[in-house]
Structure 1
Amino acid sequence: MKVTDFMPKGENTIEALIENLKKRERDLPDVDTFKKQLDPLKHDVTDPYIRKDKDIIVEKQVRGENGKMEVVEEPGKEKVNRIALALQKLVVERAIAFLFGNDPKMSGDVNSEVEKLVFSIVSKIKKSNKTHSTNRRVARSLFSATEVAEYWFAVPSERYTKYGVTTSYKLRHKIYSPLNGYKLYPRKDETGDMVAFSLEYTRVDGTISTTYFEAYTDEEKMVFTRDSTAGNDWVFKERRPIPIGKIPFVFAEQPLVEWADVQILIERLEKLLSNFADTNDYHASPKIFIEGVLKGFAKKGDAGAILVGEKGSKASYLSWDHAPESVKLEIDTLLGQIFALTQTPNISFDSVKGLGALSGIALKLLFLDAHLKVKNKEETFTEYLQRRNSIILAYTGLLHTPVQSTAKEMDLDDNIEPYMIEDLKEMIETLLAGNGNQPVIPHEVSVRLSPFSDNPEDDYKKIVEETKARQTVDVFEETF
C-alpha cells in the first residue's frame, strides 16, 4: 500500500492527505497535563495563585510627626508551606523496575543450523542496540504519556561484522514519545492490523520553525514539511521505499497514565501535608496558658527558668491531643490507598526494616501484587516485543540474504519475567533435595560466580592443581 492510497476521494491536495492520515480512534494525549503531574514543582499545591499566601497584619515601628517612634499596623503576606510529592514518578519507575528489571528472554522453535544462525543474528542485533534499556524507556513513555512508538532503520556501514556475519548495514532504532513533542498517528484496518503510521514534530533552526510530517506504509515513506517562510502550507520533501515490506514501527498505547486512578488522592495528600506543616509552624513549640497575673518571665536561654505570678495564679502547657492523630490516620490511609490502587509495593527502608530474613515464598507473597500487575502489562508488551522481533527478522533477511527465506518464516517471542529478589540458598537446597544431594552446577561455574575471584579461569586452574597435590600426598600417608 502506498501513502497516496489514503488520499480522500475527490481530493488531490497534500493538506487533505495529511488530515486523513491524522484521523485517530481517540484524541491525542494531554501531554501538558501529564508533564505537570510528573513534575512536583508544577503541582497545584506549589502554585501561589491556587494555594495563596496568608494575609496578615504586620506591626512596624515608624517615627511619628513628633519625632517619637510609633507602632503602625500594615497589611502583609506570610508564606504558606507548599509540600509536593513525586508519587506519580514513583508509581511509574517502580512499575518499570518490576516489568523490565529482568531482561526478557527470547525463545522460539530453533532446530536447523540456519535457524540457529538467524536466532544468533537477532540476539546480537538486540544486544548491539541495547534493547534492555530501550524496554525501560518504552515503558516509561507508555506509563507516563499513554503512547509510544519505536522505529527501526538500516544505516550504511562498510563491512559491519558485529552480528556474526559480514554486512553492509547496521540496524538502529529510535523511540518517539509524546513527552518529547511527537504526535503519533497509527492507522489500523477493520481487523486491527496497522496499515499506516504517521508522526508529526517541530524543529527550530534559529528564527525558523519547521514542522515535519512523516507517513509510513509497508511500501514507502513520505515526508512533508511546512514553515512560515513557505506560507505555512505543506510541501512535499522526499519519498523512499520501505525495503522490508512492512511498516518499520512498533506502537503501544494504554487508555490512562499509570497514576490516573490516584491523582486526586495525591493532591489531597499534598494539601494535607502542607496544611499540617503550617499548623506545626504555629503550634509545634510549647505554649503556656496562664490564669491570674504574671509578674515575671525568664529570659530566653535561661536554664532552670521559672515563672513568677501573684498568689492564686496558674500556668499550664497547652496540649493538642487528638488532632495530630486524626491527621496521621488520614495520611497513612491515603498513602496505603495510593500504593494499593496502583499495585505498587511500598518497599521503602522504613517499611521493610523490620521484616527480617524472609523465605523465597514470603518474598513472592510480598511482591504478589506487583507481579500481578506485570501479568496485566503482558497484554500490551508481549505483542509489542513480538512485533519488534518480526521487524528485526525482516531486516535480518536483507542483511544476510542466505537466511532470508528462513528469517521470513520464523517467529520469535520475548518472555517477560517479573523482577524478584532471589533466595539462592533456598533454591540450591531445594535442588539438592530433589537430586539426592548431588552437585547442581559444575565446579568451574561456581568459581566463576564467586565475588572473591578477579580471574575465575586462573583461580579454577589453581584449585584443580591444589586438589591434585593433596590427593598425591594422601596416597603416601599412613593409614594405621
Structure 2
Amino acid sequence: MENYTVSKVSEEKANEISRVRSKYKDGKFAELLRQWDYEKHEVMDEAIRKDDRVRTKDEVVDNSGRVMQPAVYETKKVNRIATSLEQTIVEIQTAFIIGLDPDLQAKPRNEDEKHMLEVISDTESKNKMRFVNQRVVRSLLSETMVAEYWWSVEDPEFYEDKPYAGVARNRLRCEVWSPFRGDKLVPIKDAYGDLVRFYRFYSIKDDNGIEIQRLMEIDKDEVTLYEHRTGADAGWVILRKTAHGFGKIPVVYMEMERALCDKIQSKRKRIEELESNFADCINDNFFPKVLVNGIVRGVQKSGKTQTIEMSGEGADVRYLTWDQSTNAAESEISRLIDDCFTLTMTPRISPKDLQGLGSALSGVAFKYVFMGAHISVRKHEEIIGEYLSRRYNFLKRAISLQVPSIAKGRSLRIDPVLVPFTIEESTGEDTKEKQKESEG
C-alpha cells in the first residue's frame, strides 16, 4: 500500500461528502446492471420463477378415509432461458455509432494549428482512443453515465519526432469511469450546466483483501483523494491534495436520462418467460406416451422393440399425440424480438437475417437498408457529439500547457462528426467506373 500523510476532514466537509454521496442513485444503476447481466434476469431467480412441485406417489388411505401414507412430492427443475438481448442491441448500436473513427473536420490554418492537430492525433493513438470511444459509447447506452479522466505523465520519448515541442516532457493519459466498473460518479454543475466539481466514489482492497472506500474530488485546480476509515477513528480522511495544473476540470463527462434498452424491458421479460415455458412444454411432450385400454396379457420383447398383448372389450394400444399447435408461441416470440430491434432502431445483422438480401450490400443500397440505424446515430450525436467537442477543447488546452511553443494552436477549430458504420465493397465494374471518374 502507498504511504500518505493523513489528516481528518472537518465535520462540515464530512456532511458535504454525505450529501454528495446521496445524489448517486444506487438503485437505478443496480437495476441497469441486472438488465445488462442476463444471469441476473428475473427468469433466473428461483424466488420469482419457482421450480415445479411434482407428485410422484399418491397418498394411501384406508376404507375409512384415513391417510395411511402421505403423498410423495419431488422438486422438478424448470427451464430458465435468459436472453442477452440488451447486450446484443447495445453492441450493434455501438458499432454503428463509433465503429468508424469520428471525422474531426479540422483544417489547420497555420503551423501552430498543424502541430496542435498532430499532437492531438498522437495523443489519441498513444491512448488507443478508438477502443476508449467504444467503451464510452457502450457505457453511455447501457449505464447512462460515463466519464474520462485525464492526467499528465512524464514521457520525453513522445516528442522525439516533434522538433517544435522544445523541452516538453509530459504527455496525457486517460482512464474511463462508469458505474458498471464500480465507479459512483456525481457531477456538480452550476446554473448554466457547466461542470464545477466532480466526485468519484470507488473502492480498493488492501494487502489483506479488505475493501476500502475512497473518494476523488476534482475541481479546476486540484485533485483531492479521501479515504473512509473504520474503527475508533471512523470517518473520512484526506490522503493527499494535488494540483493537476490544467486550469479546468480534467474530466469529460456525459449522461443520458434512460438506457437504450429501457423501453424493451417488458418485451424482453415476456420473451424469456415464453421461451422457458415453451422449453418446459417440449420436455413434457416430446417423447410419445402410450395410452392403453383393456387388460395387458403380456409384453413380448424382440431386440430393441416390444409388443404389448391386450385382451378384453375395446382393447387398444395407441400413442397419445400432441395435437396442440406451438405456432402461437413461436409467432409471439418472433414478433416480440422484432419489436425490440424496431423500438431501439437497431438492425438485425446475423447471417440468417441478411441471407434474404441477395448479394452483399454496398454504398447507397446499404444506407437505405440500414437507414434506421443511421438515424439512431444522428439522434445520439446530440449527446456524444457534444461530449467529443468537450474532449478536444480540453486536449487543446492541456497540450498548449505542456507544449508552450504551440500554444497559439489552441485556435484550431475541431468539429467532430460521427461517421455511421457502412460497408464499402466494390465489384470489378464499380472499380473501373471509379477509376474513370478519378481520371476524368
Give the TM-score, by structure 2 length: 0.85
Partner amino acid, structure 2, of 1:142 = L
| One-letter amino acid of the counterpart of residue 252, structure 1 | M
CA distance in 2, matches of 1:47, 1:57: 23
Which residue number corresponds to residue 348 of structure 2? 346
Higher mean displacement: 395-404 or 152-161? 152-161
User: Cα deviations across residues 98-128 of structure 1 (Å, max 9, x unaligned)?
Assistant: 1111111222231212211111111111111
Contact 2:112 2:408 (8 Å CA) reproduced: no
1:330 equivalent to 2:328? Answer no
Q: Contact 2:148/2:252 (CA < 8 Å) preserved in 1?
A: yes
Superposition pairs for residues 381-396 of structure 1, below 5 Å? 381-396=384-399
Counterpart position of 1:237: 239
Residue 386 of structure 2 aligns to a residue whose secondary structure is helix
The 8 Å contact of residues 29 and 146 in structure 1, kept in 2 or not, is answered as no
**Aligned equivalents of 2:387, 2:274: Cα separation in 1:** 41
Which residue in the other structure is 1:464 paired with?
A: none
Please, which of 407, 420, 423 is the counterpart of residue 421 of structure 1?
Answer: 423
The superposition leaves residues 190-217 of structure 1 with CA deviations (integer Å, 9 ceiling, x where unpaired) of 2221122121112221265432222222
The secondary structure found in structure 2 opposite 1:236 is strand
Output the aligned Cα RMSD. Answer: 2.8
- Are 2:112 and 2:407, in contact at CA under 8 Å, matched by a contact in 1? no
- In structure 2, the CA distance between the partners of 1:297 and 1:87, relative to structure 1 (3 Å rule), is farther
Specify the code of the residue in structure 2 equivalent to 1:57: R
Q: How big is the shift at 1:424? A: 2.2
Deviations 1:325-360 (A, max 9, x none): 111111111111111112221222222223220443
**What is the 5 A alignment of 1:180-259?**
180-205=181-206, 206=208, 208-229=210-231, 231-259=233-261
Alignment of 1:46-195 (within 5 A): 46-59=44-57, 74-161=72-159, 164-165=162-163, 167-195=168-196
Contact 2:112-2:409 at 8 Å conserved across structures: yes
Kindly provide the amino acid, as one letter, of the partner of residue 76 in structure 1: E
SS of 1:418's equivalent?
coil
Deviation of the 1:316 alpha carbon: 4.7
2:61 maps to which residue?
none
User: Which segment drifts farther, 155-164 or 263-272?
Assistant: 155-164
Give the drift of 1:40.
Answer: 2.0
- SS, match of residue 75 in structure 1: strand
Specify every segment of 5 or more residues in structure 2 that has no aligned partner in the other structure, as ranges: 1-9, 59-68
- 1:285 aligns to what? 287
Larger deviation, residues 79-88 vs 124-133:
79-88
Q: Per the alignment, in what secondary structure is the counterpart of residue 326 of structure 2? A: helix
Q: CA deviation at 1:230?
A: 6.0
Cα deviation, residue 253, structure 1: 0.4
CA gap of 1:300–1:388, structure 2 versus 1, over 3 A, is farther
The structure with the larger Rg is 1
Relative CO higher for 1 or 2, CA cutoff 8 Å, sep ≥ 6? Answer: 2
Q: Matches of 1:42 and 1:12 in 2, distance apart?
A: 40
- Range with greater deviation from structure 2 (44-53 or 417-426): 417-426
Q: CA deviation at 1:148?
A: 0.5
Q: Is the 8 A contact 2:113 2:408 kept in 1?
A: no
* Residue 367 of structure 1 pairs with residue 370 of structure 2: yes
Aligned to 1:467: none
SS in 1 for 2:260: coil
Distance verdict in 2 for CA 1:357–1:300, change over 3 Å: farther
- 3-state SS of 1:424 partner: coil
Displacement of 1:391 in angstroms is 1.4
User: Is the 1:209–1:227 Cα contact (8 Å) retained in structure 2?
Assistant: no
| Change over 3 Å in CA distance of 1:375–1:301 after alignment to 2 | farther
Show structure 1 runs of 5+ residues with no match. Answer: 1-10, 61-70, 441-480
Report how far residue 161 of structure 1 moved.
2.4
Match of 2:66 in 1: none
- CA distance change for structure 1 residues 57 and 322 in 2, over 3 Å: closer, same or farther? closer
Counterpart contact for 1:259–1:342, Cα < 8 Å:
yes
Cα distance per residue 1:110-167 (max 9 Å; x no partner): 1212211111111111111100000011112212211011011101234532673553
Shift of residue 312, structure 1, vs aligned partner: 5.2
- For residues 241 and 72 of structure 1, what CA distance do their matches in structure 2 show? 76
One-letter code aligned to 2:333:
I
Match of 2:63 in 1: none
Counterpart amino acid of residue 195 in structure 2? M
- TM-fit CA distance, 1:57: 2.2
Q: What percent identity do the matched residue pairs reach? A: 30
CA distance in 2, matches of 1:423, 1:415: 23
Q: Using the alignment, how far apart are the partners of 1:56 and 1:162 within structure 2? A: 75
Mean Cα deviation higher: 367-376 or 237-246: 237-246
Aligned-partner Cα distance in 1 for 2:50–2:15: 48
Per-residue deviation at 1:313? 4.3
Structure-2 separation of matches of 1:153 and 1:300: 81
CA offsets per residue over residues 433-459 of structure 1, 9 Å max, x none? 6x3xx648xxxxxxxxxxxxxxxxxxx
- The alpha-carbon distance between structure 1 residues 103 and 159, as it changes in their structure 2 partners (threshold 3 A), is closer
Q: Which amino acid aligns with 2:351?
A: F
1:415, distance to aligned residue in structure 2 (A):
2.1
Q: Distance in 2 between matches of 1:247 and 1:29?
A: 28
SS in 2 for 1:55: strand
Judged with a 3 Å threshold, the aligned counterparts in structure 2 of structure 1 residues 204 and 288 are, in CA distance, closer, same or farther, namely: same
Deviates more, 1:417-426 or 1:99-108: 417-426
Indicate the larger mover: 86-95 or 214-223: 214-223
Equivalence for 1:276: 278
SS of structure 1 residue aligned to 2:396? helix
Aligned to 2:4: none
Match of 2:65 in 1: none
More deviation in 221-230 or 330-339?
221-230
Question: Which aligned pairs between 1:300-339 and structure 2 lie closer than 5 A?
Answer: 302=304, 308-310=309-311, 313-339=315-341
> AA paired with 2:13?
I
State how far apart, in whole Å, the 2-side matches of 1:164 and 1:428 are. Answer: 39
Equivalent pairs, count? 414
Q: After TM superposition, give the deviation of residue 308 of structure 1 in Å.
A: 4.6
Given that residues 361 and 423 in structure 2 are in contact (C-alpha distance below 8 angstroms), is that contact kept between their aligned partners in structure 1?
no
Counterpart CA distance in 2 for 1:27 and 1:163 is: 47
Q: Displacement, 1:291?
A: 5.1
CA contact (8 A) 1:208 1:227 kept: no
1:13 maps onto 2:39 in alignment: no
Normalised TM-score (structure 1) = 0.78
Structure 1 equivalent of residue 357 of structure 2: 355
| Alpha-carbon distance, 1:287 to partner | 3.1
Contact between 1:150 and 1:175, CA under 8 Å: does it hold in 2?
yes
8 Å Cα contact 2:38/2:83 also seen in 1:
yes
Q: Is the 8 A contact 1:29 1:145 kept in 2?
A: no
- The structural deviation recorded for 1:46 is 1.4
Deviation at 1:59, TM superposition (A): 4.4
Q: Of 265, 268, 281, which aligns to 2:267?
A: 265
